[in-house]
């Protein structure tokens, strides 16, 4: 049976991030994608022009519909808006026993718009982290979750360990925002007993809208196929780098990545 994979997140009308990026990624990785929409955003490559949260009842109903009919092989969360919605999503995930769970703790869009209320972040730690198999913060998100500033690799590991102490089984701390390293985009996977670094060439491009969403969806798809965490992250990182390298350069701001280059059969995309 084809793995059935779920994203619980906000939409991006521009198609580069959020639910749209997640479903495109699932499709390209040969898993069956489903979605629970938490909010609709009016968004393009220039920024976020509007955020319209769905009623909690609509979110819970979507989860119930899926639980009634499908066997979820893996799931991820993205933009969850506020404490009330984070609690509803976490309690649905517990109620239906869905796992493995990848939490992308989306906080702020590139242009600075808040996608999750700042006061709701402790609800992510309290309610979502204990059921997360992996959380994928970027550096600013890890700084908020771990309540410390991050400047060095030692800081990265320490922050990840603090987040594990809040209940997550593993942390992938993404280095896309690490401007001190112009050559490499380095991410750090920390579990209770291991630290593994993943490194790729940094591509000199403004077109990185949706990289975080796409990476967490790739990991979710690989885990749904039964791959272990390290293997899933390794594949995801490789494919994401290729998708950034082939970004279609559309829109007038930070453009999306090339989701079609995530397909198995496009060896031609590898340089
Ligand atoms: N210019 C780049 N070249 C190669 N890889 C990159 C680049 N920018 C980001 N990445 C990679 O993309 C993934 C997402 O990283 P990032 O830290 O940017 O997450 P994010 O902030 O959630 O995403 P976004 O910046 O889209 O909001 C990571 O694997 C990171 O290393
Ligand atoms: C609906 C939605 N969800 C998430 C993001 C963050 O995107 P990124 O993957 O670039 O961090 C976004 N801009 N919009």
pLDDT at 52: 98
Per-residue pLDDT at 232 exceeds 50: yes
pLDDT at 180: 74
- Nearest Cα residue to atom 8 of ligand 1: 176
HEC letters along 108-157: ECCCCCECECHHHHHHHHHHHHHHCCEECCEHHHHHHHHCCCCCCHHHHH
pLDDT at 64: 98
Cα of 39 from ligand 1 centre, angstroms: 23
- Please work out, in degrees rounded to the nearest 5, the angle formed at the alpha carbon of residue 84 by the alpha carbons of 163 and 74: 55
Cα of 13 from ligand 2 centre, angstroms: 11
Per-residue pLDDT at 13 exceeds 80: yes
Mean pLDDT of 181-186: 90
Residues lining ligand 2, CB < 6 A? 9-12, 17-18, 41, 43, 78-79, 106, 109, 115, 209-213
pLDDT at 265: 62
DSSP-assigned letters across all residues of 206-270:
S--BTHHHHHHHHHHHHHHTT--HHHHHHHHHHHHHHHHHT----SSSSPBP-GGGGSTT-GGG-
Listed by start position, the domains of the chain span 4-261
Indicate the pLDDT class of residue 118, thresholds 50, 70 and 90.
confident
Active site residue 97: no
Active site residue 208: yes
Strand-by-strand arrangement of the 47-53 sheet: 47-53, 32-44, 4-10, 72-77, 101-103, 134-135, 170-173, 184-191, 195-201
Active site residue 174: yes
Indicate the pLDDT class of residue 112, thresholds 50, 70 and 90.
confident
Residues lining ligand 1, CB < 6 A? 110, 138, 174-177, 185, 187, 200, 202-203, 205, 208-212, 215, 237, 240-241, 244
User: Nearest ligand to the C-alpha of residue 218?
Assistant: 1
Cα of 17 from ligand 2 centre, angstroms: 5
Q: What is the ipTM of this complex?
A: 0.96
Whether domain 4-261 has CATH 3.40.50.2000 = no
pLDDT at 176: 86
Distance, in Å, from the CA atom of 73 to the CA atom of 56, rounded to the nearest integer, reads 24
Indicate the pLDDT class of residue 271, thresholds 50, 70 and 90.
very low
Query: pLDDT, tens digit, for every residue of 2-12?
Result: 999 999 999 99
Per-residue pLDDT at 76 exceeds 50: yes
- Nearest Cα residue to atom 2 of ligand 2: 18
Mean pLDDT of 95-123: 92
Average pLDDT, the chain: 94
Beta bridge partners of 67: none
- Nearest Cα residue to atom 11 of ligand 2: 212
pLDDT at 267: 56
Give 15's contacts (C-beta < 8 A, 6+ positions apart): 21, 24, 256
State phi, psi for 236 to the nearest 5 degrees: -60, -45
- Nearest Cα residue to atom 7 of ligand 2: 210
């Amino acid at each position: 049976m084809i793995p059935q994979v779920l994203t619980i997140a906000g939409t991006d009308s521009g198609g580069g991030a959020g639910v749209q990026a997640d479903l495109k990624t699932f499709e390209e990785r040969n898993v069956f994608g489903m979605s629970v929409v938490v909010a609709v955003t009016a968004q393009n490559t220039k920024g976020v022009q509007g955020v319209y949260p769905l009623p909690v009842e609509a979110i819970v109903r979507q989860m119930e519909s899926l639980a009634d009919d499908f066997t979820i092989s893996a799931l991820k969360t993205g933009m969850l808006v506020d404490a009330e919605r984070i609690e509803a999503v976490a309690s649905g995930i517990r109620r239906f026993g869905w796992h493995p769970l990848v939490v992308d703790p989306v906080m702020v869009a590139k242009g600075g718009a808040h996608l999750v209320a700042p006061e709701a972040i402790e609800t992510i730690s309290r309610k979502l982290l204990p059921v997360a198999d992996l959380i994928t913060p970027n550096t600013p998100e890890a700084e908020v979750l771990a309540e410390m500033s991050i400047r060095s690799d030692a800081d990265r590991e320490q922050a990840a360990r603090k987040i594990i102490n809040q209940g997550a089984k593993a942390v992938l701390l993404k280095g896309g925002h690490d401007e001190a390293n112009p050559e490499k985009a380095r991410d750090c996977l920390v579990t209770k007993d291991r630290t593994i670094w993943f490194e790729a060439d940094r591509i000199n491009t403004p077109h990185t809208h949706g990289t975080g969403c796409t990476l967490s969806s790739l990991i979710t798809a690989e885990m749904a196929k039964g791959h272990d965490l390290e293997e899933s992250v390794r594949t995801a990182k490789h494919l994401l780098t290729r998708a950034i390298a082939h970004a279609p350069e559309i829109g007038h701001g930070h453009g999306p990545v090339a989701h079609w280059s995530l397909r198995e059969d496009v060896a031609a995309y590898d340089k």
